[in-house]
Structure 1
Amino acid sequence: MTGRIEKADLVFDMDDCFKPAPLADPLGEVLHMLRLTGTLYCRATMTAPWGLIMPRLVESMIFVIVTAGRCVAEIDGENIELSAGTMVLLPHGDSFRLLSEAGAPAEPLFDLPVEKISERYELMTHGGGGEMTRAMAGVVQFDSVAGQRLMSVLPRVIRIDGWDESLGDWVQSTLGLIAREASALKPGGEIVMTRLADILVIQAVRTWLDSASEAEQGWLAALRDPQLGRALVAIHRYPQTDWTLAQLAGQAGMSRSAFSARFSERLGQSAMAYLAQWRLHLARARLMETTDPMAAVARQAGYQSEAAFSRAFRQYFGKPPGATRRSVVA
């Protein structure tokens, strides 16, 4: 596949696809692709004794930032002390309890009354009148394929301490800004807090990537691999290209056999299977976000016919592409 594509003011040289991707920062490119969508943010003021049961939320990340006072997060039977300036992130949306102290009685979050400030932002006051704790909680999602893949390899809990000097002054400053906005909600304050909270979620993920031994395995390790990283960048940049194994090996600067063996060893699947799955996830996102014709979605996913695309989509996701689009519309 060669030549030039011109659309509006965009000129794209297909020959560029087959030039080895520059060795920049493949993991950094993935982080740049992340798009965070907030579905709910809540500023909570609690007075002891109090307790909240946070429900399990599928395909979502839950975070809590303590802006004043202290509390305890009970996660998988373990009690984690949280003080002002501390953030805890649950990348897989697991259920947990947030308590004034260990063992305090708790009520389901969604059973408690709230004051709606906007469609996605609310205020909550709860508790027995004792020692006060303020916190900001949020439910967010990564709405890119890269983000969803990254979520799948993150641990169940990530904690950020705002007073950790290794994180830099800006983290402390950001937490301080959120605390100030939370203490006196001014016009536009909910927008400021939600945007700052989104930044901290990304920072929490970056902190884990920099420090965790688990980040040196699997997909994340492959992104850091000087040769495999080039091939992954090529797939991520140009998923619509009709890649062959030999062309991807060329991107990596490796022989086809060596590339195939290392890719399978690092990622637990073949390069062509990874490419197919990446395209199908992109197609699913396109079905959910656009009204593009099914034939166009199929071509973008590398399929010559809608029928072949539909079979592959159903086999991987368990339902046909049309049902995905209908479920979003409904």
Structure 2
Amino acid sequence: MACQRPRDIPARADTLGETLYSLRLNGAVYANSELTAPWGIEMPPMGGMMMFHILTEGGCWLRFNNNENLYLQPGELALIPKGEGHCIAHQEDQPCVPFFDIPVTKLSERLEYMRYGGEGENGAGEETRLICGVLSFDHIAGQKLVSQLPQIIHIQCDQADRPHPLQSMIELMEQEAASMAPGGETVMAHLADIIVIHAIRYWIEHAPDKSRGWLCALKDPKLGKALAAIHAQPEAHWTVERLAEQAGMSRSGFSARFTEVIGTSVKHYLTDWRMNLARMKILQSPVTLTELAQDLGYQSEAAFSRAYKRVFGVPPLRQKHDAT
């Protein structure tokens, strides 16, 4: 490792907030849907993506393969953090048609309009309006955070502690989708980012406290400081002793506590974090092995390549070739 000593890291009051900020969501597509009963849509699995549904009119059911179903009412949000496949329909037992088999009108590069349904034995029925979106996240912090989230986050209208800013953002999203004014796509993209962050934060604040896991470590006043140091300076010459100093703990106490809560050793976590950062850079932009090694604190390309292969099973040049 390069002998670059860590700089002093200022105390962070909100390590979890820093992680939420690092999500860096990218909107893949947004759909404004007008649906007439009977209707049912099967959403395919989308690994590495988040999906959300905001109901603006009518009502609908969300069905998952594990039989966990929920009903959405106007003004409510359903966030599917891990991109799990599901059905969304006007009735709980309604047959569903694959999403990509349903015609849509492409309004712009990332905005679609869908009008579907109304072809049942009893003719057209209740109208339902939905705003749906698919978002990607391109940072290792986002990947780790999403892995800790539940199958679905449901923000209901009748929740007394529903955050007022979240409610306001949902209402504004509804207005933008209805008006389709100039610049509406950009406004909706930024609103979607804010809504998703608020929904995740709401779940974190109300989830049962756990004694183990990455989120627990982020919220821990001592371990959180060490994680913040690693995340802020992945290239620094971190040792267990220096990270223990950041946490304000003894070396042995810190090492044992870190492994107990996160489930892996300090050294393994540091290497895994660096290699995932490297993989992200390889996939996102042209970069050389020399640059990667320097950016992540390795003295040589060979040392970096060995560490990368230990984590991913292939050398970085192979990963880079496969990504192009």
- Give the TM-score taking structure 2 as reference length: 0.92
Cα pair 2:2 2:298 within 8 Å, conserved: no
Write the letter of the residue equivalent to 1:57. M
Change (3 A) 1:173 1:108: same
Unaligned runs of 5+ in 1: 4-13
Unaligned runs of 5+ in 2: 119-123
Cα pair 1:41 1:137 within 8 Å, conserved: yes
Q: State the match for 2:104 in structure 1.
A: 114
Cα pair 2:25 2:193 within 8 Å, conserved: yes
Partner-residue secondary structure (3-state), 1:101? coil
Q: State the match for 2:147 in structure 1.
A: 152
After TM superposition, give the deviation of residue 132 of structure 1 in Å: 0.8
| In 2: Cα distance, 1:322 partner to 1:253 partner | 39
1:140 equivalenced with 2:135 (yes/no): yes
Cα pair 1:67 1:178 within 8 Å, conserved: no
TM-superposition CA deviations, 1:79-121 (whole Å, max 9, x none):
2110111111111111100001111121000111111122222
1:300 equivalenced with 2:295 (yes/no): yes
2:93 is aligned, of 98, 103, 122, to 103
| In 2: Cα distance, 1:191 partner to 1:37 partner | 12
| In 2: Cα distance, 1:162 partner to 1:206 partner | 17
Change (3 A) 1:38 1:216: farther
Cα pair 1:72 1:101 within 8 Å, conserved: yes
Cα pair 1:162 1:175 within 8 Å, conserved: no
Alignment size in residue pairs: 318
Write the letter of the residue equivalent to 2:193. D
Q: State the match for 2:26 in structure 1.
A: 37
After TM superposition, give the deviation of residue 319 of structure 1 in Å: 2.8
After TM superposition, give the deviation of residue 197 of structure 1 in Å: 1.8
Q: How does 1:185-200 map to 2 (within 5 A)?
A: 185-200=180-195
Partner-residue secondary structure (3-state), 2:13? coil
Change (3 A) 1:156 1:30: same
Cα pair 2:140 2:276 within 8 Å, conserved: yes
1:70 is aligned, of 48, 54, 59, to 59
| In 2: Cα distance, 1:161 partner to 1:178 partner | 16
Cα pair 2:211 2:261 within 8 Å, conserved: no
Q: State the match for 1:6 in structure 2.
A: none
Cα pair 2:35 2:115 within 8 Å, conserved: yes
After TM superposition, give the deviation of residue 216 of structure 1 in Å: 5.2
Change (3 A) 1:84 1:274: same
Change (3 A) 1:220 1:286: same
| In 2: Cα distance, 1:301 partner to 1:310 partner | 12
Cα pair 1:67 1:182 within 8 Å, conserved: no
Change (3 A) 1:299 1:93: same
Write the letter of the residue equivalent to 1:114. V
| In 2: Cα distance, 1:29 partner to 1:194 partner | 21
After TM superposition, give the deviation of residue 23 of structure 1 in Å: 4.5
Write the letter of the residue equivalent to 2:67. G
1:24 equivalenced with 2:5 (yes/no): no
Q: State the match for 1:125 in structure 2.
A: 115
- Give the TM-score taking structure 1 as reference length: 0.90
Cα pair 1:71 1:83 within 8 Å, conserved: yes
